[in-house]
Amino acid sequence: MNLTGKLIQGFRELKWSKRDQYILVIIAFFIPFGIRLLPSFIILLGLSWLFTGGIKRTIEYFFYSKGRNRFFIILLIFFYFFHLLSLLYTENLRTGTFDIQIKLSFLLMPLFLSGIHKNSIDIDKVLNSFIIGTLVAAILCFFIAIWNSLDFDSGKFLFNVQPGENYWENFFLYERFSVFHHPSYFAMFILFTLVIGFYFLNPNNESFFGNRFIIVSMVFLSVTLFLLTSRAGLLTWFILIIIFGFTFIKRRTRKSYSLVIPFVILLGIFSLLLIKISRYNTVKEEFKVYENYTQESIKSSIGTRMILWEEALHIIKRNFFFGVGQGDIKMELHNQAKKKGYLQIIEKNLNIHNQFLETFVGLGIGGVILLIIILLGPVIKLKGKYFELFVYFIIIVSVNLVFESMFNRLAGVFFFAFFYCLFILFMNHVPNTKPKNNAL
């Protein structure tokens, strides 16, 4: 059966008893390009939790469940309350309150998703929906870039990819190309889609999409990832390609070896790009002159990050145990930068661009330890059907946390909380496919 036939069959099998499944599938689909619609779907998920027995199932899960995964879901809730408690000693209460609203998914996702009846959820379908959503977002980015590049002058159509006089700007690169999210966040979504594709890729061709579709999609998304010019994203993909190659070799089957060929080609291309791309050469130059930095000598975003991280460490030394509070992070950072003369940090209203340091500055040593346990604890303690995919997810998120204050935006907070809770809650779950007499 082709992809269109499978979709039609899926629509015919819609049942009210699968309402939570439908909501999760829709949410996963819209994450890559419809982040503004997500609050509405979160409310819908909350209403389903409230009026269909979700509260009872949540209470049973937290108070009567004996699974080890419950501990990590509780930690995520504690992480939210750590931020909430920091408002007691923050000076900028308005900024702190806004930050608490952004991070509300750390509280709501554990509650709502733990209240879902396990037999009503098929995680594979949620992951398939996210793949489709990411592909739609990437295709739309290309169409929008083409549309923006077209012009009509003197009776002729012109195609110009440069929006202005600046030679480095391009409708097919970086922020001009990534119209739905900051390039770093969209790169993270693409990376997760790529690892899902790898997870579904198998010699027996048993996946929903089929191996050919997955390989073509992975190549297309790899090109999209390159155009986003997210250095953290490309480096992460470079590392993952190597891991994928070793994984196929470990399987030691003839069919597996045939599937590794596209990854070998991608590895060669990315190796060449990492050497030749000027953005990466600039990074090497920045590290060489780091000790002699001045306001005028910062040439790239990585240079700015190195300054931000250094100043964040100074703040941490003075507020090691409890931090400065969530509302005062940026204020303390800008005050520190002003003393050193790094005025562009203030002018651009920059954050720390490292979630580990951002958490340390805001919540102190307890907050950053809690974050590390949330990330690494399940990798050490849990096993299950989706464990391999979960490890890839943690690698992608962790690398992005090093280069971005990912939890300062709804896109980052919701993406992490949504999939983290799904993996933790349904790590070992196999959906019940037996038909029931009562569809309701």
Residue 100 resides in a domain: yes
Residue 5 resides in a domain: no
Give the pLDDT confidence score for residue 98 in this predicted structure.
96
Residue 103 resides in a domain: yes
Name which of 57-61, 111-115, 227-231, 311-315 the model is least confident about. 227-231
Share the mean pLDDT of the chain.
84
Q: Which residues, 6 or more positions from 222, have their beta carbon under 8 angstroms from its beta carbon?
A: 194, 237, 266
Per-residue confidence band for 436, with pLDDT thresholds at 50, 70 and 90: very low
User: If we measure between CA atoms, which residue out of 51, 70, 52 comes closest to residue 60?
Assistant: 70
Residue 24 resides in a domain: yes
Per-residue confidence band for 158, with pLDDT thresholds at 50, 70 and 90: confident
As a whole number, mean pLDDT of residues 330-339 equals 91
Name which of 16-25, 365-374, 376-385 the model is least confident about. 16-25
CB 178 within 8 A of CB 141: yes
CB 236 within 8 A of CB 280: no
pLDDT: which is higher, 202 or 318: 318
Give the pLDDT confidence score for residue 177 in this predicted structure.
95
Give the pLDDT confidence score for residue 276 in this predicted structure.
55
Residue 431 has pLDDT above 70, yes or no: no
Residue 324 resides in a domain: no
Domain range for 72: 16-282+365-425
pLDDT above 90 coverage of the chain, percent: 53
Residue 301 resides in a domain: no
Give the pLDDT confidence score for residue 107 in this predicted structure.
97
As a whole number, mean pLDDT of residues 362-379 equals 97
Residue 331 resides in a domain: no
pLDDT: which is higher, 376 or 230: 376
Give the pLDDT confidence score for residue 34 in this predicted structure.
84
Residue 257 has pLDDT above 90, yes or no: no
Quote the CA–CA distance of 378 and 439 in Å, as a whole number: 35
- Taking the CA atoms of 89, 93, 97 and 98 in sequence, report the sign of the dihedral they define: negative
User: If we measure between CA atoms, which residue out of 308, 283, 280, 310 comes closest to residue 405?
Assistant: 308
Residue 292 has pLDDT above 80, yes or no: no
Residue 391 has pLDDT above 70, yes or no: yes
First-last CA distance in the chain: 28
Question: What's this model's pTM, rounded to 2 decimal places?
Answer: 0.88
CB 284 within 8 A of CB 302: no
Q: Which residues, 6 or more positions from 207, have their beta carbon under 8 angstroms from its beta carbon?
A: 200, 201, 214
Query: What total of structural domains would you count in the chain?
Result: 1
List the beta bridge partners of residue 158. 151
As a whole number, mean pLDDT of residues 354-372 equals 97
Name all contacts of 387-394 with Cβ < 8 Å and 24+ positions apart. 387/427, 388/199, 389/127, 389/195, 389/196, 389/199, 389/423, 390/423, 390/427, 392/192, 392/195, 392/198, 392/199, 392/240, 392/243, 393/192, 393/195, 393/419, 393/420, 393/423
Q: Of 212-216, 283-287, 417-421, which has the strongest mean pLDDT?
A: 417-421
As a whole number, mean pLDDT of residues 398-421 equals 95
pLDDT: which is higher, 277 or 356: 356
Name which of 99-113, 162-176, 278-292, 406-420 the model is least confident about. 278-292
As a whole number, mean pLDDT of residues 225-234 equals 88
Residue 335 resides in a domain: no
